Amino acid sequence: MFAGLPELGISNGEDLKETLTNCTEPLKAIDQFQMDNGILLPTLQSALPFLDLHGTPRLEFHQSVFDELREKLMERVAMIAEGKEDDRYGKLEELLDKSFPLVKMPSIQPVVMQVLKHLPKVPEKKLKMVMTDKELYKVCAVEVKRQIWQDNQALFGDEVSPLLKQYIVEKEAALFTSDLSILHNFFSPSPKTRRQGQVVLKLTQMIGKSVKLYDMVLQFLRTLFLRTRNVHYCTLRAELLMSLHELDISEICSVDPCHKFTWCLDACIREKFVDGKRARELQGFLDGVKKGHEQVLGDLSMILCDPFACNTLVLSIMRNLQELLSQESLPRDSSDLMLLLRMLSLGQGAWDMIDSQVFKEPRLDLDVVTRFLPAMMSVVVDDHTFSFEQKLPSEEKSSLLYPTTLPDAFNRYLQENRVACEMGLYYVLHIAKLRNKNALLRLLPALVETYNDMAFSDIFLHLLTGHLTLLSDEFRLEEFCSVVFDGFLLTSFSSKENVHRHTLRILLHLQPKVVPKYMESLIRTLEPPKQQSKTLESKCT
């Protein structure tokens, strides 16, 4: 406990034991020991008997003085570090040399840690001692740990890994929440709110102003994204940069070539729309990637692969298409639409680009613009035509029936093209938001076969289940239930556990609305085998 005192010429318990063992008058020896090791203040000696008269133990008195002096010393260390003197760090190093031998003493340790914290460069020998001692490493400040992590990527990875796992768990939990709502869904929190999350704040603190640590975290995120294809790592990459931006950490923001692009995109995500002015800014950043620096496209694609960025881009595309429809214009004639598709394509191709290390923008399949989008817009026209027809007086109505099939190009590109599929899925959400039952019944069967099973992804199912709550009264009809469940969700629930869980989420919400007979059948169908039931139950709660 008192190791290190002899090195500083201060007596410890062993010295007192030796003195008492070898002396002939123990009381005199104790008095002398107290005189030699007590507070060196002559006027204090005459005052100490008064404390004895009040029954105050000497230990209590010395402890209170010690605590007070320690606090004053720690304040003084902070003042020296924050001062302007040229030799301020020299003074701190001198104090560190004197105090470091006592670093294991609990009462002195806070002082040593305070000095270490305020040294921009801790002497290597002492830094190594802190790193190799688990107890010292645990209690040292993050400012000291940063210096250790700079040259110990494995140790830094051990610290960061649990945070990254926690982040993914939190994101996935948000997608499986039992609270279904179109107003409060996965994409509802603003970028600023998301950046106040525990993991983002902790990582930001750990990185500080260190470009090296920031680069290490980005490398961890790229590696994990490649290993898992989990797009939430892309979200964290953007959130981390913008968190550092908000703290005005120019040392990092100024060297990250994605900073201004991410900043502009962040403003679009906040508004859930990419307006013309910001679209041109974003285009300027993409066009400004210089020859020899194409690697930045890998990071830009990762930032565009963030689900919050994708959500904003596709919502903007939907809005753009509606405007083109009202103006009777073709998709290929809109430069804003082409840019949005370019960015969506770049984001969707993030994994392939980083995996192949071929940093080149993926070429957008022009058939998406000339064939798929017109096919999708023809579905919109069909819907408008039928709605208009229904509003006519009965004598003016024709025998027009609502179409039940979809254009071949729509179905084909939904299955074969990633960008087209993303737009098709958001069109389905748009239809559900409008409470358009006929169009939804027409579209849902087409989602059974989509590119890479995108219709059964957690993000889409989270949004779809929330949007379907707007049509809750329609679930009283067996025909509607049959299309939603038998015709879509139940086609893959047995092979995809996440679909099973999302189906249970919506049933939990719609239970009072669903036809009782159909509900009983659904429950029997969805009941998992006994060995799986406990696992599923734990994940759903």
Gap between the Cα atoms of 349 and 373, Å rounded: 20
Find, among 111, 108, 109, the residue nearest to 92 by Cα.
111
Q: In this structure, are 239 and 297 located in the same domain?
A: yes
Find, among 208, 209, 195, the residue nearest to 246 by Cα.
195
Angle at 131 between CA 130 and CA 132, to 5 degrees: 95
Q: In this structure, are 174 and 85 located in the same domain?
A: no
Domain boundary among 96, 119, 150: 150
Q: In this structure, are 316 and 169 located in the same domain?
A: yes
305-to-144, 230, 234, 507 alpha-carbon distances in Å:
35, 10, 6, 31
Domain that holds residue 102: 38-150
Count of domains for the chain? 3
Q: In this structure, are 332 and 383 located in the same domain?
A: no
Q: In this structure, are 327 and 411 located in the same domain?
A: no
Q: In this structure, are 112 and 158 located in the same domain?
A: no
Q: Tokens 């040399």 map to which residue?
A: 97
pLDDT along the chain (541 residues), means of 10: 58 74 80 71 72 79 83 92 87 91 88 94 94 94 96 95 98 92 92 96 97 97 97 98 97 96 97 94 92 92 98 96 88 92 96 95 92 92 80 69 89 96 96 93 96 96 96 93 94 87 92 88 82 56 55
Q: In this structure, are 125 and 174 located in the same domain?
A: no
3-state helix, strand, coil split of the chain in percent (to 5) is 75, 0, 25
User: What is the reported pTM?
Assistant: 0.87
Residue 410 lies in a domain: yes
Q: What is the pLDDT of residue 537?
A: 58
Q: Tokens 């995108």 map to which residue?
A: 454
Gap between the Cα atoms of 450 and 426, Å rounded: 13
Domain boundary among 150, 179, 195: 150
Alpha-helical segments (H) within 394-510: 408-416, 418-433, 437-443, 458-468, 478-481, 497-510
Residue 437 lies in a domain: yes
Q: In this structure, are 199 and 313 located in the same domain?
A: yes
Residue 192 lies in a domain: yes
**429 and 463 Cβ atoms separated by less than 8 Å:** yes
Q: Residue 141's Cα: distance from chain center in Å?
A: 24
What residues contact 474, with CB distance under 8 A and at least 6 apart? 437, 480
Residue 185 lies in a domain: yes
Q: In this structure, are 347 and 492 located in the same domain?
A: no
Q: In this structure, are 436 and 384 located in the same domain?
A: yes
Q: In this structure, are 430 and 480 located in the same domain?
A: yes
Residue 160 lies in a domain: yes
